[in-house]
Amino acid sequence: MKLKATYKGLIAGVGMVLMSIVFYYGLHVEPNGPYQMWVIVVFIGGVGWSLLGFHHSPKAVNAKFKDYFAEGFRTFIIITLIMVIYTAVFYKLNPQILEKVIKDNEALILQAGDKTPAEISENSAKLRSIFMPMTISITTVTYLIFGAVTSLIGSLFLKNARG
């Protein structure tokens, strides 16, 4: 049975979530640390897997660039959706991460010495209110860009390899 691009995206996305969980809870690595690159490698691998599967299918014989890109798109959009949901749930379940960000930010502001305690408190409240939307937005845009670039490069390469 051939897996559809969306199922490949689901498999890659679940793999990325599991890796992220192991890195944070098992290895006690900070989120968005250097180990995050391994999650990105799985993301790129999932999109590449989908593109290669399409390339070796009978559908690819007369396929155009848009057909290749559409295959990659169907994969990376599912992965992006999974990772955005995971990110939202992860940060809701781990409010200590936000508190650490706020504490570190307050320490930097205090070190600069140009803000009053009321301004620092106001800044912390603002940071608290924008943290989730900002984090989800950054996650969404990052994965969409990685997916589009991976699909673009993979599609161009594989389309030209077919001739």
Q: Hey, where are the domains in the chain?
A: 5-93+132-162
Q: Which residues contact 139 (CB under 8 A, 6 or more apart)?
A: 83, 84, 87
Mean pLDDT, residues 51-66: 92
**Residue 163 has what pLDDT?**
54
Query: If DSSP codes are grouped into helix, strand and coil, which group holds residue 128?
Result: helix
pLDDT digits (tens, 9 = 90+) for 87-142: 999 999 999 999 999 998 888 888 887 888 888 889 889 999 999 999 999 999 99
CA 82 to chain centre: 9
Q: Inform me whether the pLDDT recorded for 1 exceeds 80.
A: no
pLDDT digits (tens, 9 = 90+) for 70-81: 999 999 999 999
Q: Inform me whether the pLDDT recorded for 62 exceeds 60.
A: yes
